[in-house]
Amino acid sequence: MSLELTLLIWSAALAGAYVVVQSTVYRLDYGIAHAGSQRDGERQPNKWTARGNRALRNFLETYGIFIALAVACELAGRSNGLTQWGAQMWFWARWIYIPAYFIDVPFLRSAIWSISLLGLVLLFVGVAF
């Protein structure tokens, strides 16, 4: 099994971590009873819940691209240095992105996001060319 496919499998745990973080801060903000309701008339979230929502949404925006590229890499038998570096950069940067979204260090979150994007670019170049 290629490194890219291995990271794709482990990315399910990564996706789960994003959902757990988001749902935990949501429940801490709104309460379990509200979380179990239809959520009609929901007030604005506090800053932690808003950050959890944005972090999850941001992850989901790139997750499909990673899945497509990792699968294409496996099906085409194109695993190489670029694809392996790219997959690892995306995967580990996305893990680091979770806590980075909740701390207030200027430009840190954006730098980590840029590293994950560069990983996707490397993965694409390694598969496509």
Q: Find the CATH number of the domain harbouring 97.
A: 1.20.120.550
Which stretches of 18-125 are assigned E, i.e. beta strand?
A: none
List per-residue pLDDT tens for the chain, 129 residues long: 999 999 999 999 999 999 999 999 999 999 998 888 898 888 999 999 999 999 999 999 999 999 999 999 999 999 999 999 999 999 999 999 999 999 988 899 999 999 999 999 999 999 999
Owner of token pair 């999850």? 56
Cβ(11)–Cβ(90) below 8 Å:
no
Number of domains into which the chain is organized: 1
DSSP percent split of the chain into helix, strand, coil, nearest 5: 80, 0, 20
Cβ(6)–Cβ(87) below 8 Å:
no
Domain range for 63 is: 3-128
- The model carries a pTM of 0.93
Rounded Cα gap, residues 61 and 129, in angstroms: 24
